[in-house]
Structure 1
Amino acid sequence: MLGVFHRWRGRLCSKHTNRRKFFSTSSPRVAVALSGGVDSSVAALLLKKQGYDVYGIFMKNWSEEEESICTGQDDLSQVDQLCRHLNIPYRVVEFQKEYWNEVFQPFLSGYERGMTPNPDVVCNREIKFRALTNNVFSRDPSVDYLATGHYAQLVPDLEDPRELELRCAVDRKKDQTYFLVQVDPQMLFRIKFPIGHLTKDRVRQIASENGLPTAKRRESMGLCFIGKRKFDQFLAEYLFQPETEVVSSETGKLVARKRGAIYLTIGQKVCIGGLAAKLYVVDKDARNNKIYVCEGRRHPLLYRRMLVAYQMNWFTERTVEKMRNGSEEIRCWAKIRHGKEMVECKIRSLRVDRWNTCFNDNNSERYSDGSVEKWFQEYENGDSGKQGRAIEVEFNDPQRAISIGQFLGLYSENRCIGGGMIIKVGKNEWTRACSDKGVPN
């Protein structure tokens, strides 16, 4: 049964409710985003034990037609059991339209343009920490916080008490700060991450000790709207599968034609029947329906030292000022995808003259729908809102398979300082080596 409840004239009215009466309290109120998994369940449990007035909120982001694939109905059943166990109310909010427009359509559009989108980062920015927070705080002004089951930590900034630091979780293998790099820093003051100081094993243990119905529930992996389907099968349901030309990056010759290969990502293996060589995607040209490949997973064509990221989101104002200044260089650590180890780099505000001089072997326009050019035109014209929001990154060591459309996460020790979308990459190591030797490439 759905646990939808409404505040009406000071009492709980219900439509398919768990029938727990709602009483006013002086304890701080927290809405906990419940997914039906063990992490958000333990988050709710811990907050209740700490004396907060807790209620659950379950988001429906995917349409009913896809429920045989997405586990939405199953998740909702788990949330209902959990809330009965904890004796807390919950309600359901529907964001199918928002999710389709702000997350899913851009995801498909990105793949059509040859990018490698990250819908999890966009979902956190547009749905969980925008649409959901707006819904929670505007619907009930008595709510003090929104809590989630993310593995991340928030602590006061020692240098500026007006700001919060987003720190990595204690369990570094489960750390999810990378997925939060685009969240509005002002929103963090009303957010709680109750399990960020715990390991996953400890979370499971707490759930078992307290008899939570989700204690042994299997962890969900991957994108919820794909379900158990293979990724290429999923894309084939929504995007036209053209016969793509597979071209050798070294010789420029046609190697093969493969249907749907344009949707492979940089660094991914290309399986072509009858070829003994192991081929990997080096670059893509979606407009002309071509991918460029090399032989061998460690080929220098796959490695690059530099990238440009834009629409940067900074968690402290002092970092914004350093980037606006334009002359200061910051040494930090970076992630170019989730699961990737942090690597050392230096960042600086992007100078417009370097856009084409240092990044001219990669035609970013072929990935764009026009919005990137418009953004950078405004940046070049001195738009104050965009200053400090585009950076160039130079890694100490070349990085494999940097993909346009993915997000860059930046860190100072265990503190996440910001992140933005990767929109352009520098010369690959093969090209750099040829240039250094004066050899045409």
Structure 2
Amino acid sequence: MLRVVASTLRPLIQRPPLLIPKSLPRSRLPPQPFRALSSSAPPAAAPIARAADDAIVVEEEHLNRCAAASRAPLRVAVLVSGGVDSSVALRLLHAAGHRCTAFYLKIWFQEDFRNFWSECPWDEDLKYAQAVCDKIDVPLEVVHLSDEYWNHVVSHIISEYRCGRTPNPDVLCNTRIKFGAFLEAIENLEFDYIASGHYAHVTHPSSENTEEPSLLQLSKDKVKDQTYFLSHLSQSQLRRLLFPLGSMTKDEVRKLAAQMGLPNQGRKDSQGICFLGKVKFSEFVERHIGEMEGIILEAESGDYLGKHRGFWFYTIGQRQGLRLPGGPWYVVEKDVQNNVVFVSRNYYSLDKRRRTFRVGSLNWFNNSKPANNEQLKCKVRHSPEFHHCTVMEEQTRKNGDVLVVHLSEDDQGLAAGQFAAFYRENVCLGSGIILDSWDEMSFPVCSRALEIARLEDKSGLGKPVRIMNLEHIGKSEQEVTKVA
């Protein structure tokens, strides 16, 4: 049975969009009595079909570890997207005997791009979600959070791009919408936990130690691991969550979906930014920020190379979309005030390495800050790769508590506005927002380039300088033409 939920939920709390380095808004939920999870055997589970060959056996251990089984059935609100991961998570929880209600979140923020669709953007997702729920007789409810998504995520993203920073919509969506506005919306419906198909593992304290914090740990699948996207949740949010797929790999989940006979077992994973769907990112930026012609300069020489549509279309380390001859070129700096983009072909040279940056808007799951000079691991983007690092806390008048992070190796993709997540062994400690990258070895922009960038009238620059590919340097024009 499909039910649309809107006015039946209590009014959602409205918060204005915030800009870095202010702290991101936290859930206003009051503390909830902690329902400890038991390691005891689950109640009788619904039967799951098993393949004859190369089968994954859904044993008691799977149900205990992945589906958080307990002697007394839990009431669980399960977020479903129509994809394979959330469907398997729902099926595992249901098989473990829990009382599940599925929720589909409609977060498409507005109808501005309706002409891009051949059909409603969420129709297919919702049909798959409904089919999965029908198969196991679990109720599905649709919750409209479009306004909340616009107010707390999209407007923030637009503001950040206007300031030259590169925000992460998926981290904000988890913090402010999936486990923020939605969790607040169902506060009075007496669910014990909220579950989803994220690849992460949450360890809750036992019934004997309920005052201990819940821990966010790496999933079994290091490639699919999504702790980076969950690293800015609060402890009160984390305490309410279950991630049934935390001790499984993607391949295991796919095989389980086939064994369970799920209608979406062969569906491809979604890609890209969560709220854009089929709309290109450049189209979204153009629609909401517009265009403003500026110039592109070579960082080392100040040579005028061409024009761009606005600095907000570019991020540090970007290579694609520059449309400059003689490359490959990389975006290395941006002058936001003068709308100038600096590029280089030597982005990865040893004398232009980056390994020190500052992080603000700090969030720690157990309110325990890392010690100064402590050896940690960190991620500066969603990736299976870690950096080893040391951290040092400092207090600034402008940004409050700031963490100075020094990496053990170079990373040229540090972008202000992105999140940096920190780990001690396999436990995620929390995260913060990259304010900048700085040290004596950061990418230099020559004085000539800076002077040209500050010119009010750039019409006298003439035609862009033609630069050959690096492999063509020293060859005659005839040789270059022959090579090309």
- For Structure 1 versus Structure 2, the TM-score category normalised by the shorter chain is 0.7 to 0.9
In 2: Cα distance, 1:113 partner to 1:223 partner: 20
User: Hey, what does 1:87 align to over in structure 2?
Assistant: 137
Secondary structure of 1:130's counterpart equals helix
Q: Does 1:4 align with 2:48?
A: no
- Aligned residue pairs total 377
User: Hey, what does 2:238 align to over in structure 1?
Assistant: 188
State the Cα deviation string for residues 350-371 of structure 1 (Å, max 9, x = none). 243xx9xxxxxxxxxxxxxxxx
Secondary structure of 1:304's counterpart equals coil
Structure 2 residues not aligned, in runs of 5+: 9-70, 447-484
User: Hey, what does 1:76 align to over in structure 2?
Assistant: 126
- Which amino acid counterpart does residue 52 of structure 1 have in structure 2? H
Contact 2:332 2:347 in 1 (8 A): no
User: Hey, what does 2:102 align to over in structure 1?
Assistant: 56
Structure 1 residues not aligned, in runs of 5+: 9-24, 356-372, 380-388, 435-441
Shift of 1:302: 5.6
In 1: Cα distance, 2:358 partner to 2:5 partner: 46
* Equivalent of 1:411 in 416, 419, 423: 423
In 2: Cα distance, 1:296 partner to 1:310 partner: 29
* Equivalent of 1:214 in 257, 264, 269: 264
Contact 1:125 1:182 in 2 (8 A): yes
Q: Does 1:224 align with 2:248?
A: no
State the Cα deviation string for residues 66-116 of structure 1 (Å, max 9, x = none). 465573221111111111111011211111111001101111111111111
Contact 2:380 2:414 in 1 (8 A): yes
- Which amino acid counterpart does residue 278 of structure 2 have in structure 1? K
* Equivalent of 1:38 in 84, 96, 121: 84
Say if 1:302 and 1:99 are closer, same or farther in 2 by CA, change over 3 A: farther
Contact 1:282 1:401 in 2 (8 A): no
Of 277-286 and 301-310, the range deviating more from structure 2:
301-310
User: Hey, what does 2:381 align to over in structure 1?
Assistant: 337
Say if 1:161 and 1:331 are closer, same or farther in 2 by CA, change over 3 A: farther
In 2: Cα distance, 1:5 partner to 1:251 partner: 59
User: Hey, what does 2:57 align to over in structure 1?
Assistant: none
State the Cα deviation string for residues 233-286 of structure 1 (Å, max 9, x = none). 332222211112111211233222122354211011165556223211111122
User: Hey, what does 1:247 align to over in structure 2?
Assistant: 297
Contact 1:306 1:392 in 2 (8 A): yes
State the Cα deviation string for residues 22-73 of structure 1 (Å, max 9, x = none). xxx9621001001111111111110111110011011011146346557322
In 2: Cα distance, 1:430 partner to 1:191 partner: 40
* Equivalent of 1:174 in 221, 224, 227: 224
Contact 1:3 1:80 in 2 (8 A): no
- Which amino acid counterpart does residue 418 of structure 1 have in structure 2? G
User: Hey, what does 2:345 align to over in structure 1?
Assistant: 295
Q: Does 1:151 align with 2:195?
A: no
Secondary structure of 1:226's counterpart equals coil
- Which amino acid counterpart does residue 73 of structure 2 have in structure 1? S
Shift of 1:300: 4.6
Contact 1:300 1:429 in 2 (8 A): no
- Which amino acid counterpart does residue 153 of structure 1 have in structure 2? H
User: Hey, what does 2:73 align to over in structure 1?
Assistant: 27
Contact 2:311 2:336 in 1 (8 A): no
Contact 1:302 1:428 in 2 (8 A): no
- Which amino acid counterpart does residue 4 of structure 2 have in structure 1? V
Aligned identity (percent) is: 34
User: Hey, what does 1:391 align to over in structure 2?
Assistant: 403
In 2: Cα distance, 1:351 partner to 1:178 partner: 25
User: Hey, what does 1:266 align to over in structure 2?
Assistant: 316
Say if 1:398 and 1:90 are closer, same or farther in 2 by CA, change over 3 A: same
In 1: Cα distance, 2:394 partner to 2:156 partner: 25
Say if 1:272 and 1:161 are closer, same or farther in 2 by CA, change over 3 A: closer
In 2: Cα distance, 1:274 partner to 1:291 partner: 13
In 2: Cα distance, 1:272 partner to 1:217 partner: 34
**Counterpart mapping for 1:317-356 below 5 A:** 317=367, 319-320=368-369, 322=370, 328-339=372-383, 341-352=385-396
State the Cα deviation string for residues 386-423 of structure 1 (Å, max 9, x = none). xxx42110111121120001000111121111101101
CA RMSD of superposed structures (Å): 2.7
Shift of 1:122: 0.4
Say which structure is richer in helix.
Answer: 1
In 2: Cα distance, 1:7 partner to 1:429 partner: 55
Q: Does 1:124 align with 2:168?
A: no
In 2: Cα distance, 1:63 partner to 1:260 partner: 24
Whose Rg is larger?
A: 2
